[in-house]
Structures are given as C-alpha cells and as structure tokens.
Amino acid sequence: MPSPPRISGRFLKSLAALAKTRAGSAIVYRVTRADLRIDALPAVAPHLFGDIPLDNRPVGGRAPRDVESADLPLPAPPWSGTSATRTAAYAAGTTTPVAAVREAFAAARKLASLTPSLGPFLDLCESVALEEAAASSERWARGAPRGHLDGVPVAVKEQTAVAGLPARAGSDLTDATPAARDATCVARLRAAGAIVLGSTPMTEFGMTPLGFNPKRVMPRNPHATAHVAGGSSTGSGVAVATGVVPFALGGDGGGSIRIPSALCGVFGIKPTWGRISLYGDVLSGTVGHLGPLASSTLDLARCLEAVCGLDPDDDQTALAPPLREGSLTRALGRGVRGLRIGVEAGEWSATSTSIADAGQAALRALEREGAVLVDVRLELARHAAAIGYLAIGLEALATCWNWLSRGAVFNPDLAVSHAALSRATAIEAIQAQRLRAGLRRELAHTMRDVDLLALPATATTATRVTDGEFDGGFIDPQAIDAMCRFNFLGNLTGLPAMSVPVGLDAQSLPIGLQLLGDAWDEATVLAAGAHLERIGVASVPKPRSLANQA
C-alpha cells in the first residue's frame, strides 16, 4: 500500500477514532507494517535468525580495547562551557555554585518566555537546588569540593525519579505523586555534588522520536524554531544546546538520547546495557537505557564515571565489569592511531546527501589522524529498525495495557500506534526476537575485526512542522523512520553508541555522526568522539535563537 501523507488536525483525530475499531486497527497496522518495513521481516533468510533470547546480556565481539593514553590535551570547551570551566571558576573564586544555579534558572525562564517556547524544563526544584548550591559554595570556599561535578547544574528527563518531583514519562495518565526517592543515577550525581535543577519534558511514554507532545509545553529546535528538537529526551537536548546546563540525563529506547543530540547539535551517549542502573526509571523494557547528553565528551565521561556501577536495586548492573576510577576521562586523551572503524556502505547510502557528506568528511579526518577505515557488511542492519519497532512498540503497548483497557485518552498519534500494534501476532513478536538474537550474533562477529562502527545518527536533519502540527500532534511514518533508522542497532544489541555533532546542513540544522562500540567499551567510543572534538571536526554550535535574543 502507498505511504500516507503526514496526518494531523481533525484527520488525525478521525484516524484515532477509526483505529479503535477492529477493522480500522487492521487497516492501520497493514499500512504501518509497509511504511516501517515490518512486512519485509518474514522474507529474511532463515540462517540470519537466532534462538529466542533468554537474557539481555550484551554480546561482545572481544574484550574492550586496552590502549594507553597518548596524553593528548582535552578538547577546547564549547561556547557554553563545560563542568570543568564551571568548577575552575569556583576554584578561582570568580563565581559560586549559588550564582551559577541562579543564572541557569534565569536562562531557563527566559527561554520559556519566548514564542515559540524553548523552555527546557517541566518541573523545577528551585529551593532544594539553591540549598544544595549553598552547601557546595561552602565546600569550595574551604577548598574541599566533592569532586569534578561539585556545584555543577544538571537536568533530568521526566521518566527518571527526582525526589520531590513527579516522574510522569510525558503523560497525564501516570502517577503525579512526587517521588519519595531519587533514581540511583540521580542519587549518585547528588553524591558527587551536582545540583539537580529539575525535570525536562519528553514525548508521551517516549514513543515518538520527533519531539512534540500535546500534553506538554515542549521546546522547539533552538537552531530553527520551525523545526522539532527530536525526542524523546527533548527537554534534555534543548537544555544542553542552549547552555543552561553542561549535561543532562536522558533515556534511549530507540535513539531517544542520540536523536535530540544530533538534531540539537550536542553530544549524547547510550552506554552498554547494564552500565547504568535503571532503578527509578518509570519506563521498563529490554531496549531502554539511561545516559547523558552533553556539551562535550568530557562531560559525557564525567557523568558516566559518577553514575555507573553495581546497584542492588537493579540486577542487570551485575553484568557490567567494574569501571576503573577516571578511566573514561583518561581515554579522552588516547587519540585514534590504529583505531579500526567499520563502515557499512549500505547504511550510508540510506541517508541524505548532507548527512552522508558530513559523516564521510569526519571519517576521512579520523583516517588522516591514524584511524583505519574498514568496509563491513551487515545483512540485518537494514532490518534493525523494523525489529526495533516491534520490540519497543509491543513492550510499550503492554506497559499501557491497563490504561487502554479503561479507555484512557492518549495523544492521537500514540493512540493510532497502540491500535496498530494491538494487531501484531504472537509469531511476529517471537520472530522479531529471534531476528534480534541473530542481529546480536552478526554484530558481535563484525566487532571481532573492528573497534567501532560508524553510522549516521539520523537519516535527515530536524523535521519542519507547522504550529498546528506541533501543538496538536501528527503522524509521519517517514519522518519517524528517518530518526530511528540507524539507532535501533544499539538498543537491540545493548552496545554503547554516541552521537557526535559534525556539522550543519544548508539550512544550518545540526548533523550527527553515530559511533557504535563493542560491549563495555565506552572508552573507545568516547576516545574517538573526543578526537573529533579536539581537531575541530566535532563542535557544539551556538543556536541562532540565542543570538537573536540580545
């Protein structure tokens, strides 16, 4: 069947009503299967299927790369600064954590006052943040900070518990009771002295990568406000891109850290499955990871070092080998000499010219710095998104089942997705999991010969929207697939993957390069990203919206 045009407004509402009927849901699923290439999965060669997976343990090709640091200098800080520039100012006495936190709140309010809004926060914990900033200021005054993050303002995506704030996952259906306890990763940031400013808005249950949600005041793309900022970690991406915070926590089930990172022009990493505890994350499932979005690779490394580690409240963290103290920060100085980077030509041919050109230019720059580009072939890579849509979609459907059975009102685009997914068969679900196992096996085999796999972060830059589409929602399968096309590979395998900002297209919209590493080898991913940053190929652009504020 032909792909439908973008659907919004009253047509979207009518489609949502039709999809609630048995015949309507069948029609919607038939179209969706074609649009998202799910109908191609039954034709995949039998030898590419694996056994039904019994656990979510990441499958590595080999042990993490063990390379001595070349002691290269840290990349220069971006226009907005980093945690390091902030703590250096605290140490010098030129400012204090209290002043920095007050400035961050003021900047966030100014962004929220704009039309359209660029406000990156949903809920603030201002009084607690100022109390913690005062305690941090006192520690700096007596020369006894807790570490590299003491007094650094941060933001947290609303699917992750922050004590005193509700964790509602982008919906009005979830429990609005303020969390009694921080998520493990939030508690660990606080223990390191970081100051949590509040929660950032996301798309409803994280189920659109485009960054709109009629149930929230969502920020637009700060580089061009007629375009989306990406999702589902929308507010976190905008908070970093506008310089309000040097890093923010996000969540990634199918690219939801890497997509807003790419579209907003910042760095973002989804670490290996089990590396960060999911305790306190209100979205469960087998593909969802927590991780940071940041203005620099240094902040990605420092955040991961602070939040990773064994957690008795999440048994999946027992899978992760211990992370040596400071090892990720030290890896930033490795350089890329001898690094083998796999390039899958078929994947690069499925993206826009501007993204392919920027990505290839970045890879050639790494090659000039001593990296080795290796042609690789992945038969299942082109099917990863289709497998991923079934994996995350059916898990999300199960999560929402009680609300669905009571006739709860979801955003129209999500209501249509639920109706379509309800028509998926048991054999489709099981076969998708078998293909997931085959994909994990195939990628592990590939990673025996390369250290990284280079992919586009997205197939296009940020999608343009009208005010009506943004405020009321819309359905655009092609735009969704352009965002997720290359990201599910990391989620289905649990391997670490990062988006690196490597340029702008003709409309001055940011472009992301994705670097995917082997299991537990975040160090190599960060080392390559840091070298691109060091040589000036990767950089965080200052949004035009900020220049226009004067």
Strands in 340-477 per DSSP E: 340-343, 372-375, 452-456, 474-475
pLDDT digits (tens, 9 = 90+) for 153-166: 999 999 999 999 99
Return the pLDDT at 1.
39
For residues 266 and 235, the answer to whether their CB atoms sit within 8 Å is: no
Q: Would you place residue 5 in the very low, low, confident or very high pLDDT band (cuts 50, 70, 90)?
A: confident
- Taking residues 205-220, report their average pLDDT: 97
- Which residue numbers are catalytic? 157, 232, 256
| Distance separating alpha carbons of residues 344 and 489, to the nearest angstrom | 13
| Distance separating alpha carbons of residues 152 and 72, to the nearest angstrom | 25
- Taking residues 269-294, report their average pLDDT: 97
| Distance separating alpha carbons of residues 385 and 270, to the nearest angstrom | 17
Return the pLDDT at 52.
83
**Cross-strand pairs, 123:** 199
Bigger pLDDT: 54 or 536? 536
| Distance separating alpha carbons of residues 438 and 459, to the nearest angstrom | 24
| Distance separating alpha carbons of residues 275 and 317, to the nearest angstrom | 6
For strands 123-124 and 195-200, give the pairing. Answer: antiparallel
Run of H or E including 470: helix 467-472
Looking at residue 323, the DSSP 8-state letter turns out to be P
Residue 174 contacts by C-beta under 8 Å, 6 or more apart in sequence?
166, 167, 168, 282
pLDDT digits (tens, 9 = 90+) for 418-432: 999 999 999 999 999
Q: Would you place residue 22 in the very low, low, confident or very high pLDDT band (cuts 50, 70, 90)?
A: confident
Angle separating helix axes 297-307 and 184-191, nearest 10 degrees? 110
Residue 80 contacts by C-beta under 8 Å, 6 or more apart in sequence?
240, 242, 243, 246, 295, 540, 542
Q: Is the dihedral of CA 325, 328, 329, 333 positive or negative?
A: positive
pLDDT digits (tens, 9 = 90+) for 94-141: 999 999 999 999 999 999 999 999 999 999 999 999 999 999 999 999
CB atoms within 10 A of CB 202: 33
Return the pLDDT at 68.
86
pLDDT digits (tens, 9 = 90+) for 516-539: 999 999 999 999 999 999 999 999
**Cross-strand pairs, 103:** none
- Taking residues 432-450, report their average pLDDT: 97
Q: Would you place residue 92 in the very low, low, confident or very high pLDDT band (cuts 50, 70, 90)?
A: very high
Residue 236 has pLDDT above 90, yes or no: yes
Looking at residue 117, the DSSP 8-state letter turns out to be -
Residue 429: C-alpha distances to residues 380, 420, 508 (Å): 17, 14, 40
Return the pLDDT at 3.
55
Q: Residue 109: how many CA atoms within 13 Å on its side-chain side?
A: 8
| Structure token digits, residue 374 | 């290796």
| Structure token digits, residue 323 | 């992370």
Residue 547 has pLDDT above 90, yes or no: no
| Distance separating alpha carbons of residues 159 and 278, to the nearest angstrom | 11
Return the pLDDT at 483.
98
Residue 308 contacts by C-beta under 8 Å, 6 or more apart in sequence?
271, 275, 276, 320, 323
| Distance separating alpha carbons of residues 121 and 360, to the nearest angstrom | 35
For residues 264 and 230, the answer to whether their CB atoms sit within 8 Å is: yes
Q: Would you place residue 549 in the very low, low, confident or very high pLDDT band (cuts 50, 70, 90)?
A: low
Q: Alpha helices, DSSP H only, in 113-173?
A: 126-141
Across the chain, mean pLDDT equals 96
Residue 2 has pLDDT above 60, yes or no: no
> Cis link prior to 116 (omega < 30° from 0)?
yes
| Distance separating alpha carbons of residues 120 and 193, to the nearest angstrom | 22
Residue among 96, 424, 92, 498 at smallest CA distance from 275: 498
User: Three-class SS of residue 239?
Assistant: helix
Considering the entire predicted model, what is its pTM?
Answer: 0.96
| Distance separating alpha carbons of residues 532 and 529, to the nearest angstrom | 5
pLDDT digits (tens, 9 = 90+) for 361-398: 999 999 999 999 999 999 999 999 999 999 999 999 99
